[in-house]
Amino acid sequence: MTIDLASSDLVHLFVQEFRLCRVQPGECVLLFTDPAFPHPNYPPAAFAAAKVLGAAPYLLTVSSENQLVGPLCRQAWRDADLVVGMSTVPRGIGSWMYTETSDQALAGGTRILMVQEPLGALRRMTPDPTVIAVTRAGAERMEQASEMRVVSEAGSDFTLSKAGRPAHAQWGVADQPGRWDHWPSGLVACAPLEHSANGVYVIAPGDVLLGHRRHASSRIELTLRDGMVTEITGGTDAQLLEDHLRAAGDEGAYRLAHAGWGTDHRADWSAIGMDSESLSGSVMVSLGRNLFDAPAPFSGLAGANSSESHYDICCRRASLWLDGVLVVDRGQLLSL
């Protein structure tokens, strides 16, 4: 199938999504991408969808090595009403969402939507009222919490403090000034206080090493002390993880970035990506960079880690407590 035909097939999906994001006639919609983006049919479809809604779309394509530090790029993001990020630059740090360019645009009221998952995921996890309600309820509980504990039959048992840190939630819609979201997704998370995580985190075979885009084939045990991974033990997967963190060249790569749980009952564990982070009852614990601020409610992490690495890990069959209240019971999300 040609890109033109594939793009045409997608236009109605983007029209539906942009309506949820409250795209209005005359608004500036900036489509941001790079030549290495794996879904080249998305920007044309998004461009057409913005025109259908009477908005003014613009396409900004940067090189695949771009670091989002140039004044032209920053000004374009700040001037847009909605930025649709269809790119993974800068590589390694978890993409553009952890850059000053993104934070500055959000601070000025720009709405930002990440779109980079395969078509199957976009269709499977289109924003859903039930998922939004479950996610919002979880975010409200997370906002008030001070401590999180994660335990699993595989051997995990650690705690972290988030006192004073905001709750972050994703349900796939960027509809308020200063809101960041990711279509598709459903999750609740927070950034811990930098020196607060202590205990043991175990990744079991079948869990997702999202940083390597694969399911773990062997057990990995991470020792957490004062917010840092101080020891990594296990087989091949443990060695791959340690190699990745060491390659960042900074100790922040070993520090806990954020933690939380998935809220979408439609997610597919076999589809590695946002499905892994969003599966209802999955527990995600990430390492590395977490500079990400946004003024809208339940948007942003307010972290302080500027590492050159960001590595997501998603586990099933774990349990999670907030201030002693059970939220996820061995992989099952409880009603809040």
Say what percent of the chain tops pLDDT 70: 98
Mean pLDDT across 239-265: 97
Residue 175 lies in a domain: no
Q: Hey, what are 177's tokens?
A: 């000034």
- Same domain for 98 and 136, yes or no, is no
220 & 311 share domain? yes
Q: Is pLDDT of 66 > 70?
A: yes
> Is residue 189 domain-shared with residue 206, that is, in the same domain?
yes
| pLDDT tens for each residue of 102-146 | 999 999 999 999 999 999 999 999 999 999 999 999 999 999 999
Residue 174 placed within a domain: no
Which CATH number does the domain housing residue 57 bear? 3.40.50.2300
Q: What does the pLDDT read at residue 3? A: 60
Could you give the number of structural domains in the chain? 2
Please check the confidence at residue 217 and state whether its pLDDT lies above 60: yes
Is 179 domain-assigned?
A: no
Of 116, 138, 155, the residue that ends a domain is: 116
Q: Which domain holds residue 38?
A: 3-116
Mean pLDDT score, 33-57: 96
Task: Please choose, from the candidates 274, 313, 307, 282, the residue with its C-alpha nearest in 3D space to the C-alpha of residue 292.
Answer: 307
What is the dihedral sign for C-alpha 113, 119, 121, 123? positive
The torsion defined by the Cα of 35, 36, 37 and 38, in degrees rounded to 10, comes to 130
With a CB cutoff of 8 Å and minimum separation 6, the contacts of 72 are none
Do the Cβ atoms of 208 and 215 come closer than 8 Å?
A: yes
Note if the pTM is more than 0.85.
Answer: yes
Which pLDDT band, with edges at 50, 70 and 90, does 1 fall under? low
For the record, the structure tokens of 253 come out as: 């790569």
Structure confidence at residue 329 (pLDDT): 98
Q: Which of 116, 137, 154 is the last residue of a domain?
A: 116
pLDDT classification of 93: cutoffs 50, 70, 90: confident
> pLDDT digit string (tens) for 154-211?
999 999 999 999 999 999 999 999 999 999 999 999 999 999 999 999 999 999 999 9
Residue 172 covered by a domain = no
What does the pLDDT read at residue 6? 66
Q: Can you give the pLDDT at residue 10?
A: 93
**Residue 109 sits in the same domain as residue 199:** no
**End-of-domain residue from the set 116, 135, 157:** 116
| Per-residue model confidence as pLDDT tens digits over 221-242 | 999 999 999 999 999 999 999 9
